A and B are shown apart, each in its own frame.
Chain A
Amino acid sequence: AQRVTQPEKLLSVFKGAPVELKCNYSYSGSPELFWYVQYSRQRLQLLLRHISRESIKGFTADLNKGETSFHLKKPFAQEEDSAMYYCALKDSGGSNYKLTFGKGTLLTVNP
């Protein structure tokens, strides 16, 4: 069964510090990995996906199949990055768009 693990429920950093939100997955096939973000009082929205290999709002994430990880990184955190972050996995070979989410990490960036 596919599983996504986010080991940190809470992460607190200071503005300008690097931030890394960890995500590990368990899946036997070839997964697609995503990071979703939920800002306060807003709906869940896609931040980035590994197949795009892009940087969004300064965030990047690299899929490491050897370590089954998809950690989210940003070199210099901003206060507006404070939000709930969810890592999610999709079965790339599936016939439907089912996402399996981790439990999320609440990031707080302090001034």
Chain B
Amino acid sequence: ETGVTQSPTHLIKTRGQQVTLRCSSQSGHNTVSWYQQALGQGPQFIFQYYREEENGRGNFPPRFSGLQFPNYSSELNVNALELDDSALYLCASSSRAGASYNEQFFGPGTRLTVL
């Protein structure tokens, strides 16, 4: 069984640029959630994807967007990067059957630095 993987591991961008982060969900999982973890903070929910559609969103502006693909992998896109976007971005996958969710499994994260 393959765990959640994320790419790239590290990324450096400048203000105003755009970035795409990728996540491969664990085998058998159909739901992907993205979290932002700023330094010294706990993870903060960005949004969740289920069956290729956004299924809940946290308090993040529209320049944070995402996709989920038929194989349940996912992308997080951030436009017009700001310095405060510097953080560790975590992806978590889980399996959902109807209204029932199972445990979320986290990936290792992508460290984004915005200069």
Contacts and interface: CB of A to CB of B under 8 A. Distances in A.
B56 A44 contact: no
A97 B43 contact: no
B56 A94 contact: yes
A110 to B, nearest CB: 23
Given A103-B42, A104-B42, A95 B56 contact: yes
A96 B41 contact: no
Contact of A97 (B40, B42, B44, B48): B48
Given A101-B43, A102-B42, A104-B42, 19 more contacts: A43-B4, A43-B109, A44-B43, A44-B90, A44-B106, A45-B105, A86-B43, A95-B56, A96-B33, A97-B33, A97-B48, A97-B96, A97-B104, A98-B33, A98-B48, A99-B45, A99-B104, A103-B42, A104-B41
